[in-house]
Amino acid sequence: MSSHIKLLERLKIQLQGHIVVGREQRDGWKESAEFYMFKCPVHGYVKNYVKGYGKRLECPECLLEMKNKAVEDIQPELIAINRSAFD
């Protein structure tokens, strides 16, 4: 993902934390949103839009991992409940 980032863009991200990459509209959105590129300490250069009132920029890869991890955390408990129902 980071291979096509120009040196100038990398420098700008280092200096100001992010760069504007332009507006993008995704499925189900009423209007387009401004997308930014920034550097995630784990995943490198990533792109996302600002969310919520706190104006947060979150790494989409980190969010995906958190989501997947949450599902993993829930599963063992569900299995335990199901098993005890058959005792």
Give residues in contact with Zn ion (CB under 5 A).
Answer: 40, 42-43, 59, 61-62
Nearest distance in Å: CB 45, Zn ion? 10
Question: Looking at beta carbons only, is 33 or 40 nearer to Zn ion?
Answer: 40
Nearest distance in Å: CB 17, Zn ion? 15
Return the closest-CA partner of residue 56 out of 32, 78, 36, 31: 36
For residues 26 and 49, is the Cβ–Cβ distance under 8 A? no
Distance of alpha carbon 26 from alpha carbon 14, whole angstroms: 27
Nearest distance in Å: CB 65, Zn ion? 7
